[in-house]
Structures are given as structure tokens and as C-alpha cells.
Amino acid sequence: MKINIKCGLILLFCIFIAAGYCFAAELDISISDILFPRKIYLKERNTVYMRLENNSGSDLENCTLTAEADDGSKTSQTFTLSKNGQRVELKWVPQRQGSLKFKAALAPAKDIKEKNKENNQVTETVEVIAK
């Protein structure tokens, strides 16, 4: 009888490990929304808000949000992404006036595999003006 209990516990432990592995394989983080200021000013700190999603069921450490524009400006931030998702703000200083492509990319820690990487990036065209 003791052997059966041990086997049962080992089997239960293996099921939990397998379930955790399957769950991890379905991990997906994404950028669901991006909000720019009404007016984006040249060579000024502009706050860009992004809504990030996390379906893993737990907080994810060492996620990095990077944003860059085709004027060479770039900014990034590393943080723990809440299991409920969260709003993140980035400070961006555009270096050129006019129409710019702004690209944001969200990346999990290097050891985390994702189900879908396509939804980790957004690109928007914005107008930068002089003050």
C-alpha cells in the first residue's frame, strides 16, 4: 500500500509539472494599445502611454519595452509585467520635425518562450511639431 501511495504522489507531481509546461507554452504578452499626446513636440520629453497584456497568470520579471522612431531617437524600459497587464509610460524626445514612424516592441525575459510574437510590436505614424 505504501508503494501505491508513493507512486500516486509521483504521478500527481508529474501531472502538475506537465500542466505547468503546457501552460508555459501558451504564454503570450502583447501591446494592446498606444496613446500619444495630442501634440508631440520636437526635442521635448513627450509621454507615450502603452497598454500591455500578460496572459501567463503570473507576474513576468525582466520584460523590456523599447521604442524608436525613424529620426534615430530611442528609449527603453525594463520592468516586471503584472499578471493583470498594465499601462506603461515612456518618455520620448523626437529629434526631427514632421511625419515620423514610431515603433514599440515588447520582449519578455530571454528564457521565456511565447506563443505569438506578432502582437509584441506596434508601428504608428505621428506628426512632430516645433513649439
48 grid coordinates: 507615450
Q: Measure the CA–CA gap between 130 and 24, rounded to whole angstroms.
A: 47
Residue 19 has pLDDT above 80, yes or no: no
Share of the chain above pLDDT 90, in %: 70
The pLDDT of residue 120 is 94
The pLDDT of residue 8 is 52
Domains of the chain in start order, with CATH, are: 2-129 (2.60.40.10)
Q: 85 — alpha (psi -120 to 50), left (phi > 0) or beta?
A: left
Q: What is the pLDDT of residues 42-95, one digit of tens each?
A: 999 999 999 999 999 999 999 999 999 999 999 999 999 999 999 999 999 999
E strands present in 2-120? 29-35, 40-41, 46-54, 60-69, 74-81, 86-92, 98-107
Tell the residue number behind the cell numbers 503570473, with chain if given: 58
The pLDDT of residue 6 is 56
The pLDDT of residue 16 is 46
Q: Measure the CA–CA gap between 126 and 124, rounded to whole angstroms.
A: 6
Q: Measure the CA–CA gap between 29 and 83, rounded to whole angstroms.
A: 10
Claim: this prediction has a pTM higher than 0.85:
no
Please, which residues have CB within 8 angstroms of residue 42's CB and are 6 or more apart in sequence? 94, 95, 96, 97, 128, 129, 130, 131
55 grid coordinates: 496572459
Q: Confidence class of residue 115 from pLDDT cuts 50, 70 and 90?
A: confident
Q: Find, among 125, 122, 103, 126, the residue nearest to 32 by Cα.
A: 122
